[in-house]
Amino acid sequence: MLYHPDKHRDPELKTQAERLFNLVHQAYEVLSDPQTRAIYDIYGRRGLEMEGWEVVERKRTPAEIREEFERLQREREERRLQQRTNPKGTISVGIDATDLFDRYDEEYEDVPGSSFPQIEINKMHISQSIEAPLTATDTAILSGNLSTQNGNGGGSINFALRRVTSAKGWGEMEFGAGDLQGPLFGLKIFRNLTPRCFITTNCALQFSSRGIRPGLTTVLARNLDKNTMGYLQWRWGIQSAMNTSIVRDTKTSHFTVALQLGVPHSFMMVSYQHKFQDEDQTRVKGSLKAGFFGTIVEYGAERKISRHSILGATVSVGVPQGVSLKIKLNRASQTYFFPVHLTDQLLPSAVFYATVGPLVIYFAMHRLIIKPYLRAQKERELEKQRESTASDILQKKQEAEAAVRLMQESVRRIIEAEEARMGLIVVNAWYGKFVNDNSRKNEKVKVIDVTVPLQCLVKDSKLILTEASKAGLPGFYDPCVGEEKNLKVLYQFRGVLHQVMSADNEALRIPKQSHRIDADG
């Protein structure tokens, strides 16, 4: 009714009303037709522009159209699956830095260059794997690795074929060969026994010059409760052992206790990890492991430093292992691992520098490099988003301005009615990006005046907005694409001023007693 051309006599307003009325008419046509409404509910506006819907039978119900969409989506997922290789890789570089703490200065006084500690790379390991989906149930996996330590090394290559046999299980056959070991044949089976219990069995035959070396590993797991898993593992063959562990994983913590009896290693291990609920997904962890090989205490932390990267550091202190610092960087599906061996003895100085050094370096890099880089990257993405949506936003702005002009007469009548009953009157309303924090004072405020559109939505001295972006309301548009937005309203109810600030997607209901401005303040 507000946009109907016959309600406006001014030629310019009449033209603007016709354009907006046509948009309302298009929306009505889509939402009043069960088929197009079902498409819109699933796809949104983009779905209405897609080709091929003309072949869908008109008699289909919304539920059938939704099933058709899900079928098409599954087909697209299968096509995407065929193109995926899901590469995974690990690069590990072992560093011997014991010369920093265990130097024999007297022996090397006369050796040229002996005044500088000797830090060397003593081992490296590189592994890579790719997956090639053959069908919806069959996947081929190719993997390989290369390792070297103190000048000696070797490598191997493996090929595996995995088939999903049912919703309850899958099987995998593996073939491998290497220069240090002979051919390898393996078979792995996974099966859900019950909804809360599963079993995994891995059989392997390793061929070598000494003969055939068989191996068998079986893992039985059960959900003890919503967040807790129990595992029983039996390994026969090379390094036979029995292991039992309990893992509890919640939103804020991860706890593991494990006990192993085996040859040559038996041990008990307890570890705990606390997950902070912050934007950087910070985690701190600690563990204690004691067995026939000695005792190891580890503690460390990890943090998300970008959208796809997680950086972590762990200090390992043990007898007789000594002190080590392990640095790990996860970048998408690639892992870079740098174990740095500092000393063979338990030296307090090594423990101190292994703990404090990475913290100082991280905070310096985060402040001087990472934070400025992420800020610049975010600005580039926002600028790119603004450029791609500039024409659309300009059109929305013109439509919003036209809608505000068409609302003037209706708003005048609403205000007169509200004043007569001492009801709800919107004094001022702004929508967009507000900067209240002193640390962000250099950022530009980007808001638009939405007093008229909000007053137009007032009915019977009430204003109710649902949980959705307010940029889609009549007379609104997005003044700052990709940035956090709020709605600030100053309104009068029963002659008393009220004020409220609402997030963009937050529901809003006014008037409320809690919005009242204290006259003494």
Q: pLDDT, tens digit, for every residue of 161-216?
A: 999 999 899 999 999 998 877 899 999 999 999 989 999 999 999 888 778 889 99
**pLDDT higher than 60, residue 57:** no
Look at residues 397, 407, 309, 297 and name the one whose alpha carbon lies nearest to residue 355: 297
From residue 487, how far is each of 75, 411, 431 by CA, in Å?
42, 19, 5
**What's residue 58's pLDDT?**
47
Confidence bin at 136 (pLDDT 50/70/90): confident
Provide mean pLDDT across the span 301-326. 91
Angle, vertex CA 212, rays to CA 207 and CA 213, nearest 5: 100
Q: Is 161 or 42 the better-scoring residue by pLDDT?
A: 161
Residue 266 in 3-state DSSP?
coil
Measured distance CA(304)–CA(103) in Å, rounded:
36
Q: Dig out the tokens for 8 from the structure.
A: 């406006």
- Average pLDDT over the chain, rounded to an integer: 85
Measured distance CA(73)–CA(220) in Å, rounded:
35
Confidence bin at 80 (pLDDT 50/70/90): low
Confidence bin at 337 (pLDDT 50/70/90): very high
Provide mean pLDDT across the span 38-55. 62
Cα 439 from chain centre: 27
**pLDDT higher than 60, residue 437:** no
Measured distance CA(300)–CA(303) in Å, rounded:
11
Q: CA torsion, points 387, 389, 390, 396, in degrees to nearest 10? A: -170
**What's residue 86's pLDDT?**
78
Q: Which of 184-188, 236-240, 468-472, 503-507 is modeled with the greatest confidence?
A: 184-188
pTM, two decimals, is: 0.65
**What's residue 49's pLDDT?**
62
Confidence bin at 124 (pLDDT 50/70/90): very high
Three-class SS of 267-332: EEEEEEEEECCCCCCCEEEEEEEEECCEEEEEEEEEEECCCCEEEEEEEEEEECCEEEEEEEEEEC
Written as one letter, the residue type at 420 is A
CB-CB contact of 280 with 304 (8 Å): yes
**pLDDT higher than 50, residue 261:** yes
**What's residue 156's pLDDT?**
92
Which DSSP symbol is given to 518?
Answer: P
**pLDDT higher than 80, residue 10:** no
Provide mean pLDDT across the span 62-78. 67
Measured distance CA(428)–CA(444) in Å, rounded:
20
Provide mean pLDDT across the span 82-108. 78
Residue 29: CB partners within 8 Å, gap ≥ 6? 36
Q: Dig out the tokens for 331 from the structure.
A: 């970048």
Three-class SS of 336-347: EEEEEEEECCCC
* Share above pLDDT 70 across residues of the chain, in percent, rounded to a whole number: 87
Least confident of 74-83, 324-333, 370-379: 74-83
CB-CB contact of 127 with 145 (8 Å): yes
Measured distance CA(391)–CA(427) in Å, rounded:
32
Confidence bin at 42 (pLDDT 50/70/90): low
Measured distance CA(91)–CA(4) in Å, rounded:
67
Confidence bin at 37 (pLDDT 50/70/90): confident
Residue 134 in 3-state DSSP?
coil
**What's residue 102's pLDDT?**
74
CB atoms inside a 10 Å sphere around CB 460: 9
